């Protein structure tokens, strides 16, 4: 029986079935949670490997990383200015300034060789290490350089760089430690900088680089083989002929795989023949950590996928108490060496395929890539409560995930359906930023009632 998802209503009432007949549902349906638990129990964390920082975004750290040195390694200045001894500036004000002898220039990247003695100063640039003897930085703004920059139009900006003055006028009392960044202010030597299990984002990559590392140990990305099946499918780019449609699932699923941290490998479209399917599945499992197929798992007459899968491994065909996406298959296949590869058989309808991959594939990838290691719920999407702007009707006891657009108003969030909820209407997926959930045991969510929305981005 094909998935009956089409909504024919034009009064913005969306039902999760056209028939409204609960008796058509099989007795052996399993819940979304049961299906997910079984899938998660069958996939494992992948091995760690050293990963270049440029490739580590979105991965999970497999080991603790310690710093062997202080970061920053030396005390340095946080401002452009003069390195002075604070005691030499006692009593200095704009009206009663003091003069110090300029004994040197120091740019970031070098260390000053001398020592700042009584009545002396070193002109210093942000990031340069504090010269020995100095204990405070007076910014340019509190010296006569400020006068020059703002008032003396006869002198050009770069003048100080090429023609240093022998003396500098200090207009304030410098406080000990002022504008000095301490050694180890960021990370102290021998301390834990990044802990195992940490999700690597841009800041983590920066911190790893500050430790001097180019590669870090991360759980590797799942390699996911994607197989679209069906005699009607044509790859985009070819001329459409009667009876054919373009294969969308290969592309939308590959994009989902990538956005969930995996590496997709799209296989050739498989015709609905045992030979073609067998060959493509064998090709797919060769180097995959997960194989996903779409279509051929419903009760349609011509679906040979089920036969082939049953021949090649252990597989369960489930009807999941959800909509869209009731038919789902899950099991393991073996490659030529006997290695077991988990297989997720998604429904063929483009919306159902994406939605089931979101609900079941994403948690599986999160487990494989280590994102669930320290937090078993890491895969969970954020949910909000919104006020329904359309009626969500559920007449067959399945959990209805309705594609909706969320808006924040002064009365809180509101959720509006994105249009026809048929499982072939991919544009309604494109317009959605969340799935409004009508629970299994709720007959309808009326306009104005609260609805839970799972945010998908």
List of residues contacting Mg ion (CB under 5 A): 230, 295
Answer yes or no: are the C-beta atoms of 163 and 63 closer than 8 Å.
Answer: no
* Stretch binding ligand AMP (CB under 6 A), from 50-58, 127-135, 204-212, 227-235: 227-235
> Considering the rule CB under 6 A, would residue 98 count as an interface residue with ligand AMP?
no
Closest residue to ligand AMP: CB criterion: 348
Closest distance to Mg ion from the beta carbon of 310 (Å): 17
Closest distance to ligand AMP from the beta carbon of 295 (Å): 3
Site string for ligand AMP, 172-211 (x = CB under 6 A): ----------------------------------------
Closest distance to ligand AMP from the beta carbon of 7 (Å): 16
Site string for ligand AMP, 294-313 (x = CB under 6 A): xxx-x-x--x----------
Candidates 364, 367, 365, 325; CA nearest to 348 is: 325
CA angle 58, 59, 60 (to 5 degrees): 125
Closest distance to Mg ion from the beta carbon of 306 (Å): 11
CA distance 26 to 41: 25
Nearest to Mg ion of 16, 298 (CB atom): 298
Binding partner selected for residue 139 from ligand AMP, Mg ion, none, CB under the kind-specific 5 to 8 Å limit: none
Closest distance to Mg ion from the beta carbon of 265 (Å): 22
334-353 residues near ligand AMP, rule: CB under 6 A: 347-350
Closest residue to Mg ion: CB criterion: 230
Closest distance to ligand AMP from the beta carbon of 127 (Å): 55
Among 230, 262, 325, 397, binds ligand AMP (CB under 6 A): 230
Binding partner selected for residue 248 from Mg ion, ligand AMP, none, CB under the kind-specific 5 to 8 Å limit: ligand AMP
232-251 residues near ligand AMP, rule: CB under 6 A: 232-233, 245, 247-249
Nearest to Mg ion of 347, 434 (CB atom): 347
Closest distance to ligand AMP from the beta carbon of 35 (Å): 17
Nearest to ligand AMP of 131, 325 (CB atom): 325
Nearest to ligand AMP of 249, 394 (CB atom): 249
Which spans of this chain sit near ligand AMP (rule: CB under 6 A)?
A: 2, 228, 230, 232-233, 245, 247-249, 294-296, 298, 300, 303, 347-350
């Amino acid at each position: 029986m094909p998935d009956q998802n089409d909504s024919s209503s034009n009064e913005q009432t969306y039902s999760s079935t056209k028939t409204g007949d609960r008796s058509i549902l099989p007795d052996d349906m399993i819940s979304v949670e049961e299906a997910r638990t079984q899938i998660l129990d069958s996939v494992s964390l992948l091995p760690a490997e050293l990963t270049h920082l440029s490739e580590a975004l979105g991965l999970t750290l497999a080991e603790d990383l310690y710093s062997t040195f202080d970061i920053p390694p030396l005390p340095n200045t946080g401002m452009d200015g003069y390195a002075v001894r604070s005691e030499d500036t006692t009593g200095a004000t704009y009206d009663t300034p003091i003069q110090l002898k300029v004994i040197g220039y120091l740019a970031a990247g070098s260390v000053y060789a001398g020592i700042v003695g009584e009545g002396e100063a070193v002109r210093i640039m942000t990031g340069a290490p504090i010269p020995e003897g100095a204990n405070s930085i007076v910014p340019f703004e509190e010296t006569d350089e400020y006068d020059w920059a703002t008032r003396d139009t006869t002198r050009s900006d770069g003048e100080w760089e090429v023609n240093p003055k022998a003396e500098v006028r200090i207009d304030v009392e410098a406080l000990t430690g002022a504008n000095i960044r301490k050694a180890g202010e960021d990370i102290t030597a021998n301390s834990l900088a990044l802990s195992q299990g940490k999700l690597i984002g841009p800041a983590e990559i920066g911190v790893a680089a500050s430790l001097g590392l180019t590669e870090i140990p991360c759980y590797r990305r799942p390699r996911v083989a994607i197989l679209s099946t069906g005699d009607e499918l044509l790859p985009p780019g070819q001329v459409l002929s009667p009876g054919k449609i373009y294969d969308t699932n290969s592309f939308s699923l590959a994009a989902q795989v990538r956005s969930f941290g995996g590496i997709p490998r799209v296989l050739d479209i498989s015709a609905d023949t045992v030979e073609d399917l067998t060959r493509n599945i064998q090709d797919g499992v060769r180097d995959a950590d997960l194989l996903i197929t779409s279509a051929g798992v419903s009760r349609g007459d011509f679906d040979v996928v089920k036969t082939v899968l049953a021949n090649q491994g252990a597989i369960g065909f489930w009807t999941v108490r959800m909509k869209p996406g009731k038919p789902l298959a899950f099991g393991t296949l073996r490659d030529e060496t006997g290695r077991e590869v988990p297989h997720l058989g998604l429904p063929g309808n483009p919306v159902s395929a994406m939605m089931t991959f979101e609900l079941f594939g994403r948690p599986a990838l999160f487990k494989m890539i280590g994102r669930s290691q320290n937090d078993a719920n890491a895969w969970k999407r954020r949910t909000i409560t919104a006020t329904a702007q359309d009626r969500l009707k559920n007449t067959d006891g399945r959990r209805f995930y309705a594609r909706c657009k969320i808006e924040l108003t002064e009365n809180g969030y509101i959720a509006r359906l994105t249009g026809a909820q048929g499982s072939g209407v991919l544009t309604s997926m494109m317009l959605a930023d969340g799935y409004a959930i009508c629970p299994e045991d709720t007959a309808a969510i009326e306009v104005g009632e609260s609805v839970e929305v799972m945010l998908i981005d």
